Structure 1
């Protein structure tokens, strides 16, 4: 199954390091950062789990709940968390889904047979409170994720929802944003009273607070 932007994130029930969950119920009214890794007790994955834990306050400030997954079991996850905490100098508290039967990995198309038939690739799904998939990313097994980019795109998505804007290439919080072409100049006057710069009729940039 292929999970695409705009789809409702497939729901599932699974055991995790924090106990059994119903995924949609667990998300609740928050955003979710759902990410898979190939295996416990592997080097790149250990740094990624540690980095996610280290950024727990930044995720919480954005109303985002992290949740990991690998095709190992709960006991392996629990033992591995001790290693993550020790080597990455953190205290990991977010849940890690146990998926030894590959049920969730297959549901989210995390198994890429040319990479492995049993281990998940490094997939990322950003899911909003309406349970809609807003971003998908897939990394190869030997390349760790860029967490600055993950936080940046969450900021961009949340700003776009709140302010009816789009964000340009390399946008960072505080930077200029784009007024979507679907908003007429007349409507834009009410939505963006601060005004805008018209570079082209289809390219209008403005500031937001």
Structure 2
């Protein structure tokens, strides 16, 4: 009986995953057009002529990213909907809601996971929570190795630590960028910031 119950659960979850993916596919064109509020809230109906309609010739609603993320949170598409909802809120300037969606997103060690950590960091930095922002930029740097993005995240972390008054940690990260990513655009900026930081430290000593 237990085996049947477990098997039934997995079949149900597979079905839910398929439904979530279908619903996400219907609303993503709205998101990709930059119509972020409608992507969040949903669209009253899908045109009967739209080939994405599950039953061609019949109008049907397209639920929004927030509802998909909530109703199908245990599925890959539901999780991805939380990421896109965070981006949509961010793009319309609702940073509190953006942060809530980003933090609900189950991050993996990939480009999307890294960019989500960085977006969270940007929001905390805008609130003046520099230590928290710096830690999240470091999470972004660790989540996905990239010759361009990683040094940028490390540079952002260094700037945030400097703003928080943690000058020794900032100096360490500026130096890491210049040493390990010497040919990157971020390294050029890091050299400038590092020189300025050392001048500041010399003045204060």
TM-score, with structure 2 as normaliser: 0.26
By percentage of residues, which structure has more helix? 2
By percentage of residues, which structure has more strand? 1
TM-score, with structure 1 as normaliser: 0.26
Q: Which of structures 1 and 2 has the larger relative contact order (alpha carbons within 8 angstroms, sep 6+)?
A: 1
